[in-house]
Amino acid sequence: MTGAGAWDLPPLRAGYAADEALVERRARAAGSADAAERAGEAVIGGVRCLVIEPCGGDARGEMIYLHGGGYRLGSPLAYVDYAQRIADAAGRRIILPFYPLAPEHPFPAALHAVVAVYRGLDDRQSVMVAGDSAGGGLAAALCIVAGRAGEPLAGAVLVSPMLDLTARGKSLDRNAARDLMFSKAAVLDSAQLYLQGHDPCDPLVSALEADPADFPPTLVLTGSAELLLDEAVAFAGRLALADRRVTLHVAPGMGHVWPLLAPETDEAWEAISAIAGFVKALEPVGSEDSV
């Protein structure tokens, strides 16, 4: 979907068909087709996307938001209401790509797709990227390749991000009984289907291994009760030690991707407010204070 050159993307690889159980899980997690009626649709960089406009005003820029699902599940159709809350609070047009899923499309197919979306936008200087779970890992990968290509994102928002496909974090076991929406087995299954022999320590799949210099201003949101807590905290700490602009938001008692899965909680609204504040603080006409 996109060329190499300065972007230095790994070549696409052949995958294999998803089994029946995964196909059924995808159908259950895909979201309602009616959701598309509440969003616009566009093909950007050759990739189908849903587009969510903020209510009550013009968008002040664009945010690419990458859905979760362990690189093998999920759909923008399940994100329309959540994306609308972000759009309204942050004043951003939210772009939700239908990126290809594993195992049919292993690494780096999803990365090729999101790079194509980013490069397909007219004005990239103010574009931000966000994502949750595997989408957070994919957002981090986009930051890396865009930064290396000399076209960095304006900012990144990583929600409960999957940043270590080696599954080394102690919170994967420590919080196993508290985070009922996710499991260490799910992380390992995601890694197997997505990587298909690729090195799990590659920064493009495990951003915990990345050079902090590759990242724009970054907001990391994680729940204190979730399995991926340790890698999120460690990642934010690495950026801070390298004097990168980073904010860590830890929601007490919350599990995996709580702003999406527990939308009516106070903690979810606080997360949306944190995202909006981060976005607005990076805008040229906004506050110049540190986030």
- State the CATH number of the domain containing residue 182: 3.40.50.1820
Q: Does residue 43 lie within any of the structural domains?
A: yes
Cβ 199 vs Cβ 165: under 8 Å: no
The SS3 call for residue 55 is: coil
Q: Does residue 172 lie within any of the structural domains?
A: yes
Cβ 149 vs Cβ 7: under 8 Å: yes
- Cβ burial of 185 (10 Å; 0-12, 13-18, 19+) is exposed
pLDDT score for 285 = 61
How far apart, in whole angstroms, are the C-alpha atoms of residue 56 and residue 147? 33
Structural domain for 232, as ranges: 5-281
> CA dist 90 to 157, 161, 167, 247, Å?
12, 20, 33, 17
Q: Does residue 290 lie within any of the structural domains?
A: no
**Residue linked to tokens 């599990």:** 255
Active-site residues, by number, are 133
- Residue 72 CB-half CA count within 13 A: 27
- Where helices occur in 60-149 by DSSP H, the ranges are 80-90, 109-119, 134-148
pLDDT score for 2 = 39
pTM equals 0.94
Give the 3-state secondary structure of 151-195. CCCCEEEEECCCCCCCCCCCHHHHCCCCCCCCCHHHHHHHHHHHH
Q: Does residue 286 lie within any of the structural domains?
A: no
- Cβ burial of 14 (10 Å; 0-12, 13-18, 19+) is exposed
pLDDT score for 145 = 97
**Residue linked to tokens 């197919």:** 109
Write out the H or E segment, with its range, that includes residue 251. Answer: strand 246-251
How does strand 47-52 pair with strand 218-223? Answer: unpaired
The Cβ of residue 18 has, within 10 Å, a number of other Cβ atoms equal to 18
Q: Does residue 253 lie within any of the structural domains?
A: yes
Q: Does residue 289 lie within any of the structural domains?
A: no
Q: Does residue 102 lie within any of the structural domains?
A: yes
Write out the H or E segment, with its range, that includes residue 248. Answer: strand 246-251
pLDDT score for 284 = 80
Question: Per-residue confidence of the chain (291 residues) as pLDDT tens digits?
Answer: 334 348 889 999 999 999 999 999 999 888 887 777 888 999 999 999 999 999 987 899 999 999 999 999 999 999 999 999 999 999 999 999 999 999 999 999 999 999 999 999 998 999 999 999 999 999 999 999 999 999 999 999 999 999 999 999 999 999 999 998 889 999 999 999 999 999 999 999 999 999 999 999 999 999 999 999 999 999 999 999 999 999 999 999 999 999 999 999 999 999 999 999 999 999 886 443 433
pLDDT score for 210 = 97
The Cβ of residue 72 has, within 10 Å, a number of other Cβ atoms equal to 22
Write out the H or E segment, with its range, that includes residue 64. Answer: strand 62-66
Domain count, the chain: 1
Q: Does residue 288 lie within any of the structural domains?
A: no
pLDDT score for 82 = 97
